[in-house]
Amino acid sequence: MRAPDRSTFSLAEAFDPSANPIEKRVNEASHPPGAFLVKLNREYVEKPWGRTLLPPMFDPPAGKRIGEIWFTSDDDQPLLVKYIFTSEKLSIQVHPSDGEARARGLRSGKAECWYILDAEPNAVLGLGLTRQITGQELRLAALDGSIERLIHWHPVRAGDFILVPPGTIHAIGAGIALLEFQQNADVTYRLYDYGRPRELHLDDGVAVAEKKPFDLSSIRAVRRGAHQSLVNSGPFRLISGTQDVFGSASRWIMPITGRVRSDEDVAEAGDVLLAHAGEVVRYEEAWTLTGVSA
């Protein structure tokens, strides 16, 4: 695949839908140790369901099956940006709310949202259930595998945006590349993992799960180049647009097209810029997703 012209760079156009269909992380520092971080570091995470071929701007390590790219700094931040690349289905899982997480001795729960960058034909997301059930029914379905038939598999395409509140039973299907913006909490309760030899968390998962259908109004198409409010309640806010409208707050700026610049830091598609309150960020033919902590 020919490398794109970065002067008119579009993230979605870089994805190769024919990409080849363990947890280990490889860190790529974008600043020397101790330097003030604005452009966030990439951390490559190997997954059994990941891909060996990623768009070229991610410069992935050769021969690794990368499922996620995390964007991190030396400081502990309340929010986290990930890119996710799938060649197989991810586990059926659920995250707790803040209150449920704190009751279990954790710092916070996890709300998250997804912007679909690329989706192969017939790609699907699992969101909620096809009908309301009891906790015991959910547990039995997770144990015997019938949860695969209970979950609502919703078709997706590039440009879709989905808000996934805590408590939502969900799974990302194969053949999808997406950008995830979430609370920075490592708390996932797996309900079912297709026979992979990984731990399940049925007691906690059943306890926090919404055992009912998903509100499909939480799925919307995002028009490229438009200014839209995507998340306006909960632990974070997220907008799309061509201007830096959160200048009075620390914000995570995720270019989808074009580039943004803050002093010497330049971020293009595939990068994330963490701009602190009051910092001036210039948009150069850029359309971005921008998030702030609530």
Give the pLDDT score at 14. 58
- Domain boundary among the residues 165, 195, 221 is at 221
Same domain, 32 and 146: yes
The pLDDT value recorded for residue 11 is 54
pLDDT in tens, 224-260: 999 999 999 999 999 999 999 999 999 999 999 999 9
Q: Is residue 50 part of a domain?
A: yes
Q: What is the 3-state secondary structure (H, E, C) of the chain?
A: CCCCCHHHCECHHHCCCCCCCCCEEEEECCCCCCCCCCECEEEEEEEEEEECCCCHHHCCCCCCCEEEEEEECCCCCCEEEEEEECCCCCCEEECCCHHHHHHCCCCCCCCEEEEEEEECCCCEEEEEECCCCCHHHHHHHHHHCCHHHHEEEEECCCCEEEEECCCCCEEECCCEEEEEEEECCCCCEEEECCCCCCCCCHHHHHHHCCCCECCHHHEEECCCCCCEEEECCCCEEEEEECCCCCCCCCEEEEEEEEEEEECCEEEECCCCEEECCCCCCEEEEEEEEEEEEC
- Which pLDDT score is estimated for 38? 86
pLDDT digit string, tens, across residues 158-210: 999 999 999 999 999 999 999 999 999 999 999 999 999 999 999 999 999 99
Q: Could you tell me the two tokens for 253? A: 């700026």
Whether 186 and 243 map to the same domain: the answer is no
Do 26 and 117 fall into the same domain? yes
Same domain, 241 and 261: yes
How confident is the model at residue 163, as a pLDDT? 97
- pLDDT tens across 29-62, in order? 444 443 445 899 999 999 999 999 999 889 899 9
pLDDT at site 257: 97
Judgement on whether residues 244 and 200 belong to the same structural domain of the protein? no
The lowest-confidence range among 25-34, 75-84, 247-256, 266-275 is: 25-34
Structural domain contains residue 16: yes
Is residue 92 one of the residues assigned to a domain? yes
Q: Which residues are catalytic?
A: 190
**Residues 153 and 267 placed together within one structural domain of the fold:** no
Helices and strands (H, E) in the chain, number of each type: 4, 19
Question: Same domain for 142 and 201?
Answer: yes
Final residue of a domain: which of 221, 244, 259?
221
pLDDT reported for residue 16: 42
Query: Does residue 60 lie in a domain region?
Result: yes
Q: Where in the sequence is the domain holding 47, given as residue range(s)?
A: 6-221
Residues 26 and 119 placed together within one structural domain of the fold? yes
Domain total in the chain: 2
Mean pLDDT (whole number) for 58-73:
94
Assess if residue 97 is contained within a domain.
yes
Nearest to 293 by CA among 188, 168, 165, 182: 182
Q: Which two tokens stand for residue 175?
A: 């053949």
Given pLDDT bands bounded at 50, 70 and 90, which one contains residue 263?
A: confident
Residue 138 lies in a domain: yes
102 and 207 in one domain?
Answer: yes
181 in Cβ contact with 116 (< 8 Å): no
Residues 131 and 197 in one domain: yes
The predicted model gives 65-81 an average pLDDT of 95
Tens digit of each residue's pLDDT (9 = 90 or more) over 8-34: 334 555 554 333 333 444 444 444 443
275: pLDDT strictly greater than 50? yes
How confident is the model at residue 156, as a pLDDT? Answer: 97
In-domain check, residue 130: yes
- CATH classification of the domain holding 286: 2.60.120.10
Q: Are residues 119 and 192 in the same domain?
A: yes
Q: Which of 176, 199, 221 is the last residue of a domain?
A: 221
Are 253 and 134 members of one domain?
no
Q: Does residue 1 fall inside a structural domain? A: no
pTM of the model: 0.89
